[in-house]
């Protein structure tokens, strides 16, 4: 295990509030957490991270709560604006496990959160911080899921919400959510990265509180994905998984899981050799993180042209790369890109196990399959794939991957004749084997 844990800061700076502060990951400058609105370092513009003087062990999570706030010993507040979120299933998938060819495969289905994606875990904390700071308008750029979550949590908190979306590139279910929950939706003639540029400008001008994953508090909530996976897998199997495979867009989850593991190691709750290998998957048409890992580069090159049917991860400038690249490298993981066809094939394979996911989510399984075929992932590994969003988020993609409904006459005998005439239907596509 090649884990060289980045040094957790030992000293508690004067700016700390109740043992919590913000620290720049580049220059180490520290800031009070809730005195002023701040997303990056005042001095060097580096990414900020939330730091704690006291890091929890597993015992500190023993309480009657469920979901994200069960882990409040690892979070900046006791409770948040909650719907509630987290406590998502860790599915067994015996047929998929066999066809992929690993010792154990589990699917952590984040589509089972209140708005249908993992973003809720970040928003329950982020919107709580917005209340603490006393802001009155929330904003984000989004490929869809962040906007749905922000709209719901903003509504819950009674705060105005503004979302910027790339025109024509957001799945229908997500826009429907943002719309009904009452967000003001601006469709930008550009891609996600342009939307983020604009919303960052708006935030810098004090027009809104930014709740993209650049906001360090969002990632605190998303750490609980890692905590839940480790706790549940250990309870089921008596050991921790060797590897966690996840789709990557802005690399917020990759950064958040890495931080969760580092904090557990620092508190003594997790041995460094038990840290799972973080393995990121991108679509071929939007794979700047994969490029950086393959080239052993310190920085990610921004891709200006990006395309994939997995619109949730149609991102060319992963803002959390400085936090996520060390996470992939220090845990001994890797990153891989997959074709849109492989994503659809994995989406069908998951559906065959009863697990309905949107295309970006299926990228994790497609990536695992590719790495297994290449021999990078070994047959004796225990692997957890993260599926980040629900099937109903992107109904068009689901229709495209599944079979068409068959029109039949309004008559039982005719229906029977139809059934005997053709044994097709939805199952024919679903049972088409998940090819290696």
Q: Which residues bind ligand F0G (CB under 6 A)?
A: 117, 119, 142-146, 213, 247-253, 312-313, 358, 360-361, 388-389
**Closest distance of CB 306 from ligand F0G, Å:** 12
Q: Of 246 and 269, which has the nearer Cβ to ligand F0G? A: 246
Cβ proximity to ligand F0G: between 141 and 264 the closer is 141
Shortest Å, Cβ 75 to ligand F0G: 18
Provide CB contacts within 8 A for 158, sequence distance 6+: none
Taking the least distance from each CB to ligand F0G, the nearer of 33 and 144 is 144
Nearer Cβ to ligand F0G (360/377): 360
Minimum distance between the CB of residue 289 and ligand F0G, rounded to whole angstroms? 8
Nearest distance in Å: CB 22, ligand F0G: 20
CB of 360 to ligand F0G, least distance (A): 4
- Complex with ligand F0G: residue 73 or 370, whichever CB lies closer: 370
Distance between CA atoms of 141 and 192, rounded to whole angstroms? 7
CB of 285 to ligand F0G, least distance (A): 15
The residue (of 269 and 306) whose beta carbon lies closer to ligand F0G is 306
Would you say 253 or 267 has its CB closer to ligand F0G? Answer: 253
- CB 187, CB 167: distance < 8 Å: yes
Q: With respect to ligand F0G, which residue has the nearer C-beta, 146 or 345?
A: 146
- Residue 308 or 388 with smaller CB distance to ligand F0G: 388
CB of 404: closest distance to ligand F0G in angstroms?
A: 25
Tokens 């250990």: give the residue: 234
- In the complex, minimum distance from the CB of residue 397 to ligand F0G, in angstroms, rounded to a whole number: 11
CB 195 to ligand F0G: min, Å: 9
305 burial level (CB within 10 Å; 0-12, 13-18, 19+): exposed
107/92 Cα distance (integer angstroms): 7
Residues in the chain: 436
Residue closer to ligand F0G by CB (options 73, 365) is 365
Q: How far apart are CA 301 and CA 291, in angstroms?
A: 8
Report in angstroms how near the CB of residue 313 gets to ligand F0G at its nearest: 5
């Amino acid at each position: 295990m090649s884990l060289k844990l980045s040094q957790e800061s030992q000293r508690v700076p004067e700016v700390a509030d109740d043992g919590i502060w913000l620290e720049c990951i580049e220059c180490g400058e520290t800031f009070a957490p809730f005195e002023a609105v701040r997303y990056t370092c005042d001095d060097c513009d580096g990414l900020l991270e939330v730091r704690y003087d006291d890091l929890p062990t597993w015992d500190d999570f023993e309480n009657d709560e469920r979901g994200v706030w069960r882990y409040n010993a690892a979070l900046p507040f006791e409770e948040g604006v909650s719907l509630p979120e987290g406590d998502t299933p860790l599915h067994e998938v015996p047929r998929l496990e066999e066809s992929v060819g690993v010792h154990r495969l589990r699917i952590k289905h984040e589509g089972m959160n209140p708005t249908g994606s993992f973003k809720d875990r970040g928003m329950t904390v982020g919107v709580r911080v917005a209340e603490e700071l006393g802001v009155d308008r929330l904003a984000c750029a989004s490929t869809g899921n962040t906007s749905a979550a922000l709209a719901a949590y903003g509504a819950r908190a009674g705060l105005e919400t503004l979302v910027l979306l790339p025109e024509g590139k957001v799945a229908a279910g997500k826009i429907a959510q943002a719309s009904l929950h009452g967000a003001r939706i601006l469709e930008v003639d550009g891609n996600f990265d342009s939307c983020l540029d604009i919303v960052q400008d708006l935030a810098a001008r004090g027009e809104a509180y930014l709740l993209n994953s650049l906001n360090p508090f969002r990632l605190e909530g998303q750490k609980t994905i890692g905590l839940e996976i480790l706790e549940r897998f250990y309870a089921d199997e008596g050991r921790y998984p060797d590897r966690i495979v996840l789709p990557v867009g802005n690399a917020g989850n990759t950064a958040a899981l890495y931080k969760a593991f580092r904090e557990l190691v620092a508190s003594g709750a997790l041995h460094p050799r038990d840290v799972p290998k973080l393995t990121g998957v991108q679509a071929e048409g939007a794979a700047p993180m994969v490029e950086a890992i393959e080239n052993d580069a310190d920085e990610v090159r921004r891709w200006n042209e990006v395309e994939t049917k997995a619109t949730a991860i149609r991102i060319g400038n992963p803002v959390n790369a400085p936090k996520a690249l060390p996470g992939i490298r220090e845990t001994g993981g890797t990153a891989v890109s997959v074709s849109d066809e492989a994503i659809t094939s994995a989406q069908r394979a998951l559906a065959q196990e009863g697990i309905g996911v949107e295309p970006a989510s299926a990228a994790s399984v497609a990536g695992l399959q590719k790495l297994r075929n290449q021999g990078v992932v070994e047959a004796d590994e225990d692997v957890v794939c993260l599926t980040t969003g629900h099937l109903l988020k992107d109904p068009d993609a689901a229709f495209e991957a599944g079979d068409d409904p068959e029109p039949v006459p309004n008559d039982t005998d005719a229906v029977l004749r139809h059934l005997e005439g053709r044994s097709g239907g939805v199952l024919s596509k679903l049972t088409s084997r998940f090819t290696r």
